Amino acid sequence: MLRKFTSAAAALAMTTALAAPAHADLEGTLRIMSDMSNPAPRAIMEGLAADFGAMHPDLTVELEIVDREAWKSQIRNALSANPPDVVNWYAANRMLPYVESGLFMDISDMYSGGDLPGLDAVKGAMTIDGKQWGVPYSYYQWGIYYREDIFKELGLAEPATFEEEMANCQKILDAGKKCYSIGSKFLWTAGGWFDYLNMRTNGFDFHMELAQGKVAWTDDRVRETFANWRKLIDMGAFIDDHQTYSWQEALPFVVNGEATAYLIGNFAVPHLREAGLTDDQIDFYQFPKIADVPMGEDAPTDTFHIASGASNVDAAKAFLQFVTSADVQSKINGPDGLGQLPINANSSVADDEFIQQGFEMLSQNATGGIAQFFDRDFPAEMASIGMEGLQEFMVFPDNLDDILGRMEQARQRIYK
């Protein structure tokens, strides 16, 4: 659906006026295509378009919102034929196909010229071949969300090591509960478990080398990651039949106390609260240490990019300045917005227990590096084949040799 936002439409904007960098004499039309199709993100995106249009009365802002899943297959065509000026996408390796195809514009001059203050910490996620290809606008932490009240009942403390994690898990199993809920029906949640186990077993740099196709899936170090994963599988740590549930459908196991924890992103917290759990019942901890390697974290980063075929580059650059400015970042990532972490170091962080914990973890304790998540760090085809293998391993761990063989064949073909 295409909506136009001009100064007259500004009444529909976010309720608080947002300060942003001034940009002189913008005119014409700015076309934005966004995949922020869920209700809350959609409202944020429409507010951004309206506010930006209100700042520039001679500019018409056209916003088209497309389905988030459909966008993954539509973006290439959209960028190739009559491209919009600005699009939503993802950071790091997920940018690579569109950078290599010349479909994203190099905006390194905005970073080097001081047009994007407060973004130094996230600049790396937007960098390929020493150049920057877009801006982030929001990111969020992953970690283990757990039933704090049940931990207290069982006399458990937050684990710092994998050995402590497994000891806790055994006590949970002995109490007749499962340690972890997961819904792997749509595969990607299994990718989160692999990310953390691999980063904790072999380190962030190794994980990135695997994502870049530089390491064989049959490497002994990869097998060690799966060996650690199998310790939990063999214990019976995960809920039964998880391959039949979506991630949302697996939440009731935590809500009902049948499982005590969920390795998931912070986006799950509103669902847990809506289901009736209070902040006194749920808490969060960083995935524990396994080997003596720096602690890498998954923190998926959502981004805006300027199409290389953009018709209104000046307006597109001004929009990127606007959406990354400190005040706008504080607003759109606050508790009344996306409920995530702002990317501008000068922004305020929402007064929310879990957002504060995520900010502290990512800014102080993510000593290894920030990964984007399995299906973003690995090329799309490798991610699809890989996640199928990861889910199969969780259900049929004895199939590991066959799984790794198939994944290695895919690696040799895809990265060639």
Give pLDDT tens digits for 181-203.
Answer: 999 999 999 999 999 999 999 99
**Cα–Cα nearest to 103, from 305, 311, 376, 318:** 305
Q: Is the pLDDT of residue 19 over 50?
A: no
In a domain, 207, yes or no: yes
In a domain, 352, yes or no: no
Domain total in the chain: 2
Our measurement of the distance from residue 404's CA atom to the centroid of its chain's CA atoms, rounded to an integer in Å, reads 26
Q: How confident is the model at residue 309 (pLDDT cuts 50, 70, 90)?
A: very high
Q: What is the pLDDT of residue 20?
A: 42
Q: Is the pLDDT of residue 24 over 80?
A: no
Q: Are 151 and 245 members of one domain?
A: yes
Q: How confident is the model at residue 18 (pLDDT cuts 50, 70, 90)?
A: very low
The rounded distance, in Å, linking the Cα atoms of 285 and 293 is: 18
Q: Is the pLDDT of residue 283 over 50?
A: yes
In a domain, 361, yes or no: no
Any residues with CB less than 8 A from the CB of 53 and at least 6 apart, and which? 5, 6, 7, 9, 10, 59, 60, 61
Residue 412: CB atoms within 10 A of its CB come to 11
308 vs 122, more confident? 308
Q: How confident is the model at residue 2 (pLDDT cuts 50, 70, 90)?
A: low
Residue 312's domain spans which residues?
A: 2-139+301-347
Q: What is the pLDDT of residue 40?
A: 84
Q: Are 169 and 21 members of one domain?
A: no
**Residue entry with tokens 């974290």:** 297
Q: Is the pLDDT of residue 10 over 90?
A: no
In a domain, 167, yes or no: yes
In a domain, 83, yes or no: yes
Among 85-94, 189-198, 249-258, 355-364, the minimum mean pLDDT is found in 355-364
Q: What is the pLDDT of residue 5?
A: 57
Q: Is the pLDDT of residue 98 over 50?
A: yes
In a domain, 360, yes or no: no
Q: How confident is the model at residue 123 (pLDDT cuts 50, 70, 90)?
A: confident
Q: Average pLDDT in the 119-127 region?
A: 85
Q: What is the pLDDT of residue 111?
A: 96
Q: What is the pLDDT of residue 72?
A: 86
Q: Average pLDDT in the 196-220 region?
A: 96
Q: Are 202 and 307 members of one domain?
A: no
4 vs 206, more confident? 206
Q: Are 38 and 88 members of one domain?
A: yes
Q: Are 81 and 45 members of one domain?
A: yes
For residue 313, what is the domain's CATH number?
Answer: 3.40.190.10
User: Please, what is the Cα angle at 74 between 70 and 77, to 5 degrees?
Assistant: 170
Give pLDDT tens digits for 326-359.
Answer: 999 999 998 788 888 998 989 988 888 998 899 8
Among 49-58, 319-328, 333-342, the minimum mean pLDDT is found in 333-342
Q: Are 39 and 83 members of one domain?
A: yes
Q: Are 133 and 151 members of one domain?
A: no
In a domain, 229, yes or no: yes
Q: Are 131 and 152 members of one domain?
A: no
Q: Is the pLDDT of residue 21 over 70?
A: no
Q: Are 133 and 257 members of one domain?
A: no
In a domain, 118, yes or no: yes
Joined together, the tokens standing for residue 133 give: 């290809």
Write out the chain in H/E/C secondary structure: CEEEECHHHHHHCCCCCCCCCCCCCCCEEEEEEECCCCHHHHHHHHHHHHHHHHHCCCEEEEEEECCHHHHHHHHHHHHHCCCCCEEEEECHHHHHHHHHCCCECCCHHHHHCCCCCCCHHHHHHHEECCEECCEEEEECCEEEEEEHHHHHHCCCCCCCEHHHHHHHHHHHHHCCCEEEECCCCCCHHHHHHHHHHHHHHHCHHHHHHHHCCCCCCCCHHHHHHHHHHHHHHHHCCECCCHHHCCCCCCHHHHHCCCEEEEEEEHHHHHHHHHCCCCCCCEEEECCCECCCCCCEEECCEEEEEEECCCCCHHHHHHHHHHHHCHHHHHHHCCCCCCCCECCCCCCCCCCCHHHHHHHHHHHHHCCCEEECCHHHHCCHHHHHHHHHHHHHHHHCHHHHHHHHHHHHHHHHHHCC
The rounded distance, in Å, linking the Cα atoms of 329 and 404 is: 42
Q: Average pLDDT in the 57-82 region?
A: 94
In this structure, are residues 179 and 217 in contact, taking their beta carbons and an 8 Å threshold? no
Q: Are 189 and 232 members of one domain?
A: yes
Q: Is the pLDDT of residue 86 over 70?
A: yes
Q: What is the pLDDT of residue 14?
A: 45
Q: Are 33 and 75 members of one domain?
A: yes
Give pLDDT tens digits for 147-184.
Answer: 999 999 999 999 999 999 999 999 999 999 999 999 99
- Average pLDDT value for the chain: 92
User: pTM for the complete prediction?
Assistant: 0.81
Q: Is the pLDDT of residue 6 over 80?
A: no
Q: Are 161 and 247 members of one domain?
A: yes
Residue 381: CB atoms within 10 A of its CB come to 11
